[in-house]
Amino acid sequence: MNLLKINDLKCHYLTDVDTIKAVDGISFEIKEGEILGIVGESGSGKTTVALVIMGLLPENTAISGEILYRDELISSLPEPEMNKFRWKDIAIVFQNSLEVLNPVMKVGIQAMEPMIKHLDISPEKAQSKCADLFRTVGLDPKWMDSYPHQLSGGMRQRVLLAMALSCDPKLLILDEVTSSLDAFTRKEIRDLLVDLQKNNRYTMLMISHDITFVSSVASRIAVMYSGRVVETGPVRDILVSPRHPYTRGLVHSTPDIFVYKDLWGIPGDAPAGDGFKGCPFSPRCTQKIDICSKVSPVLTPIGDGREIACHRGGIADVLVAKNLRFRY
Ligand code: ATP
């Protein structure tokens, strides 16, 4: 059963100089108990997707499309109604813990706040639940008495995770939760997320530019480029045989210390601003044909649970790609 379903979602930022199509007609669903990864380079619209789902966008946005949570349309709910879903149904963990946490409040008090607000429980009960949550995320409850600057980056991410879990949400959105951490701490947080998902069957939407990290946790991946989803499929298939030229570039531009692979780059930049026609990847694509610069390709099923938005149906296999000297 789908926990979350997104239909033709668009989110455009209206600025004084331009309209930025941060999310431009994307659709996907997340099944209960599943971890879906959204990957893509910086500026591809990943965080905007998370913020639209949470209803946390600034006023300079034009939003259309549907967001259904357990078949209930939540995208057009007024703020007080939407607020009931936050923390208890859907919770988010952001990346920059030093900006998210209040520097002059002890982290335990901050982690208890959503419980006191949304679960209507006493401060004593919230305190003991908070201690349990700290243990769950691998922190000694004694750290509840600390200020954010007294903890390491990894410990602060754990505090944010404890806070996000505090009201027992069904869907956890993780936005670049490990991007500022060293490789060792990243692995620890990764193991923690895998354990949480196994033991509690949390449903997760994991957002990151790091396809290698996301692949080690998620079961399915959606690849975003310039506000659109260009490829989706099971993790293993995407890693082993990426079909979209951009996905291929993304896989081969991310180093992995455990697996040897050819490292390539993707020359050029994503199109900026409004008024772009055709496939947004076409200016950087080495296998483009005429139609690519004129018509935007639609995300189309290609079998085995995979979808791709490419007029050429993607690159057929590695051998063909190498023979033709395609680098992505
Ligand atoms: P990153 O990985 O760097 O966070 P991202 O893939 O999450 O990038 P977004 O942060 O969603 O991408 O940004 C998508 C586009 O929207 C970018 O071009 C960004 O500059 C633009 N954008 C984001 N927030 C705003 C805003 N408040 N006003 C105007 N443009 C914005």
Atom 25, ligand 1: which residue's CA is nearest?
13
Q: Is 58 in the pocket of ligand 1 (CB under 6 A)?
A: yes
pLDDT at 241: 87
16-45 as b/e, with b when 16 or more CB fall inside 10 Å?
eeeebbbbbbbbbebeebbbbbbbbbebbb
Q: Is 80 in the pocket of ligand 1 (CB under 6 A)?
A: no
pLDDT confidence of residue 274: 61
Whether this model's pTM surpasses 0.80: yes
- Token duo for residue 8: 């033709």
The upper half-sphere exposure of residue 328, i.e. CA atoms within 13 Å in the direction of its Cβ, equals: 23
The whole-number pLDDT of residue 196 equals: 86
In this structure, are strands 300-303 and 228-234 parallel, antiparallel, or unpaired? unpaired
Distance from C-alpha of 86 to C-alpha of 12, rounded to nearest angstrom? 23
Q: Is the CB of 16 under 6 A from ligand 1?
A: no
- Specify the pLDDT at position 307: 95
pLDDT value at position 201? 79
Is 118's C-beta closer than 6 angstroms to any atom of ligand 1?
no
Kindly give the number of the ligand 1 atom that is closest to the alpha carbon of 58.
27
Q: Residue 98's pLDDT is what?
A: 84
Measured from the Cβ of residue 251, the count of other Cβ atoms closer than 10 Å reads: 23
Is residue 15 within 6 Å of ligand 1 at its C-beta? yes
Residue 175 bridge partners (DSSP): 207
To the nearest 10°, the Cα dihedral for 169, 306, 94, 40?
A: -170
Q: Return the ligand 1 atom nearest residue 272 CA.
A: 18
For the chain, which domains are there? 2-89+169-323 (3.40.50.300), 101-168 (no CATH)
> Is residue 95 lining ligand 1, measured as CB closer than 6 Å?
no
- What is the structure's pLDDT at 178? 84
Would you say the ipTM is above 0.90?
yes
Q: Which of 198, 197, 203 is nearest to 169 (CA)?
A: 203
pLDDT for 246? 93
From CA 15, how far away is CA 12, in angstroms rounded?
9
- Residues contacting 198, CB < 8 A, separation 6+: none
Per-residue pLDDT at 272: 65
Instruction: Indicate which atom in ligand 1 lies nearest the CA of residue 44.
Output: 6
Q: What is the pLDDT of residue 165?
A: 93
Cα 56 to middle of ligand 1, angstroms: 13
Atom of ligand 1 nearest to the CA of 176: 2
pLDDT, tens only, 262-300: 667 777 777 765 667 889 999 889 888 999 999 999 999
Question: What is the distance in angstroms between the CA of the first residue and the CA of the last residue of the chain?
Answer: 35
**Ligand 1 centroid to residue 212 C-alpha, Å:** 22
17 ligand 1 Cβ < 6 A: no
pLDDT per residue of the chain (328 residues) written in tens, 0 to 9: 899 999 999 999 998 888 899 999 999 999 999 999 999 998 999 999 999 999 999 889 999 999 999 999 999 888 889 988 999 999 999 988 888 899 999 999 999 999 998 998 998 999 999 999 999 999 999 999 999 999 999 999 999 999 999 999 999 999 998 887 788 888 888 899 988 888 877 899 999 988 888 998 999 999 999 999 999 999 989 988 899 999 988 888 776 655 666 667 777 777 765 667 889 999 889 888 999 999 999 999 998 899 999 998 877 544 444 433 333 3
